[in-house]
Amino acid sequence: MSQSRELTVAIKNRNDLILEARRITTQEGGLKLPALDSILHLQTSIANAECFIAWQLFTLLLDMERKLEKISATYEVPAKKSTMTTKPPLQALISQLQTIVEELPQSASTRGFHEPEKMAFSG
């Protein structure tokens, strides 16, 4: 899944940026305002991308699960059909991510992806 790789890269970039900001701060005796502003802007962009990618990954996985359940329902096998039930922590997480994504400005990190849809949870 490309989203999980993208999320891993975004987290690594954020962590590298934190380490670089710490290094600059200790070497130069503090950050100048333009450097701090630049670091904060980049941190915000990376955090937004992380939330967007995580939301998109969960949405994709749950959509695949629903499609697999529909396919399973078409089989005429005399056995109980398996279904997935999401737990409240997952539902809350996806709802929080969706709220964040809906508030993101349309930027280069989100342009070209489909608009957020309201997730309906079973169970």
- What tens digit of pLDDT does each residue of 47-95 get? 888 899 889 889 988 898 889 888 888 888 888 877 788 888 988 999 9
Tens digits of per-residue pLDDT, 98-120?
A: 999 999 887 544 444 444 444 44
Alpha carbon distance 69, 83 (integer Å): 6
Query: What is the pLDDT at residue 110?
Result: 47
DSSP string, 8-20: HHHHHHHHHHHHH
Of the candidates 1, 3, 43, 2, the one whose C-alpha atom is nearest the C-alpha of residue 20 is 43
Provide φ and ψ at 22, rounded to 5°: -65, -40
Closest of 74, 36, 54, 64 to residue 116, by C-alpha = 54
Q: Over the stretch 10-53, which tens digit does the pLDDT of each residue have?
A: 888 888 888 888 888 788 777 788 888 888 888 888 888 889 98
Contact 100, 41 (CB under 8 A): no
